[in-house]
Each structure stands twice: as structure tokens, then as C-alpha cells.
Structure 1
């Protein structure tokens, strides 16, 4: 299973970037998370061909099985993220997300901020033809919440994240997979899915 990941921030070492990496560690062992980091170079949709960063993103989405986005509160959501989704949904983006699962994970202090973020991004993803699901993780970006291995430390939050990631499984795998219990201790000795970073 190949998943493309996008962290909804143009800031280096942003909290949602760490959350995306942590989510990748909770994917099934044979899954691969390719993190696309070309967000800061995305312009608004306009006439003409796809910009180079978006062309590479669409190529990777066309070969992927799904899309995972980690997003901050609506008040700090970068416009480049919605621009990227608008490009994907446009005629330039083609059908790279048509029928594929997409998951938006938000990390917000306030419920209404998560709701606004989810609404905005889910609409853009639905316009691209994706099957969209959201998960609001009630964790504050002001605190670490990650262990030395980069995994989420809070057992309840981690269980919620792993449950949400089941949306990205192929239908046959999702229906046959047994429920995964929340671990009581970090699984440092049990590596998760492989993570390939896509530069572009």
C-alpha cells in the first residue's frame, strides 16, 4: 500500500510535519508513506500547465493508493495547501484522486477550528473525487507528544490515529483486518511502515 503524505504547513519542523511522520509509523508494516514537501512553491490555480511541484505530486498520487494530510487550525492553515488541492481537482490534475481514500487529520486546541479546517479541506478533496474521512485529534501543538522514536506517546490519541488510518486500507484489507488494540507502551522495537520522503 502506497500513501502520499502532505503536512499542512510551510514552516520547517512544524508540529503537523512531526504528526505526519508519527502517523506513518502507525500504518501497516507493508505500507509506504511518501511525504511530499513542495507545498511552499504552490501558486493559486491559473491558466496554463501544471506547475512543476504539482506535476510531480500528481504523478505520485496517480501511482498511490491514498492520501494522508495532517493539518493545523484553520487560523494558520496555509493557502498553498488549498491551492494544491484545487490544482488536483482542476482539469490539469486529471483524475489522480478519483475513487481513492483520503484522510485529513487535524491537530487543534478548539473544536470549531478543527471543524473549519476539515470542512475546507474535505470539500476540496471531494471535488477531486476522493473518498474523504476526517479525524480530529484533541492534542495541543504546544506540547511534544512524541517519544524518541517519533511515535505519539498518548495511548488514547495513538489508538484514535490508528483507527482513522484504517480508512486508507484497500476495501478488502480493511474489512478483513482485526481491530488493533492501543499499545500500553511505545513499540520502539516494532517498526511501522516504511517512509520514503519525496522531495518536490
Structure 2
């Protein structure tokens, strides 16, 4: 089972990128995350065909079982992320997210800083037909919140993240959760290997 993940930042080492990879390590068994890195190439929604940068994403979403977005506070939310979801929710995106779970994870020092981000992104996901969920982690955007393995260091925050990620588990896995085996660990370097179309695979470790 595959989940498409997007980090809501144009910076390669942004804390939301680290949060996305930390989330990959907490996914339920038998789920793996495929990160899409094409955010910076997404234009605003306009008349005409689907841009090439979105064709590949929509193709991956059509074959995926859900979507995961990690996003910052609204003051630094890139407009390209809004454009991406607007394209997916438009007639060009078709039904690539229809009936699928989608989770927005935000991490801000104070709860109210994520309210606008959660509302805006979850509304766009719902418009695309997804079952939209949200999780706000009271975490300051600093690298000290991740351990040497890339996981969230605080056990309580990690437990909240894991509970939220459980919403991405398809019903077929929920019924057999007690029998599911842990997914395989794939060794990774500091940077994931790139795949065609601006995507890279990150498997739960």
C-alpha cells in the first residue's frame, strides 16, 4: 500500500521535510511513503490542460491509497502547495483522491498558528473528494526535536503522530491489523535517491 507525501516547503532541508520523513518511519505496517518533490514547478490554476508538473503527481495519486502533507504555519506556507491541491481538486485532477484518506500534519509552537493552514488544506482535499484528517503537533520547528535516526524525539508527540497516521490505513488493513507484519526496513543515506518525475521513495523504517 502506498501513500504519496508532500512537504509544504520549497527548502530542501526545511523542518516540514524532516517531519515528512519522520512520519514515514511511524506509518502503520504495510504502508510506504512516496515523496513528491515537484512543488516548486506548480503554477496557479488556469484554463487549459493540466501542467506537466501535475500530470505525474495525479498519475501517482491515482495509483496510491492516500496522501500525506506536512505543512508549516500560514505565514510561511508556499502558494505552490495551495496551487497543487487546487489543481488536484479541479476538473483536470479528475477523481484521483476520491474516497481516499488524506492527512495534513502541522507542527507549530502554538496551536493557533496552524488553524488557517489546517482549514485551507483540508478544505482543498475535501473538495477533491478525499476523507481529510488533520493533526497539529505542538513542536517548535527546530532540528532538536528529531533524534539521530530521524524520528521525533518526544515520545508523547511521536504517539500523537502515530495515532494520526493510522487514519491513512485502508479498511482492508484495519480488519487485519492484528496479523499485519512490520514493513521492511530500507537503509537510506542523508538524501533519498531521486526517481523520475520528481518523486522519491521513503519506506517506513
> TM-score of the superposition, structure 1-length normalised?
0.88
Does 1:26 find its partner at 2:26?
Answer: yes
Q: What is the CA RMSD across the aligned residues, in angstroms?
A: 2.0
Q: Displacement of 1:32 after TM fit?
A: 1.5
Map Cα deviations across residues 128-159 of structure 1 (whole Å, 9 max, x no partner): 00001000000000342111111111100100
Gaps of 5+ in 2: 179-183, 199-205
Q: Displacement of 1:177 after TM fit?
A: 3.0
Would you say the 8 A contact 1:33–1:193 is kept in 2?
no
The within-5 A match list for 1:81-92 is 81-92=81-92
Would you say the 8 A contact 1:27–1:192 is kept in 2?
no
Q: Displacement of 1:73 after TM fit?
A: 0.4
Partner of 2:127: 127
3-state SS in 2 of match to 1:35: strand
Q: Give the total of aligned pairs.
A: 189
Give the whole-Å Cα distance in 2 for the aligned partners of 1:191 and 1:39: 27
Partner of 1:44: 44
Does 1:116 find its partner at 2:116?
Answer: yes
Give the whole-Å Cα distance in 1 for the aligned partners of 2:122 and 2:37: 20
The within-5 A match list for 1:53-92 is 53-92=53-92
Would you say the 8 A contact 1:68–1:103 is kept in 2?
yes
The within-5 A match list for 1:143-182 is 143-177=143-177
Give the whole-Å Cα distance in 1 for the aligned partners of 2:120 and 2:186: 30
3-state SS in 2 of match to 1:6: strand
Q: Displacement of 1:36 after TM fit?
A: 0.2
Give the whole-Å Cα distance in 1 for the aligned partners of 2:66 and 2:187: 14
Gaps of 5+ in 1: 179-189
Would you say the 8 A contact 1:125–1:132 is kept in 2?
yes
Would you say the 8 A contact 2:4–2:67 is kept in 1?
yes
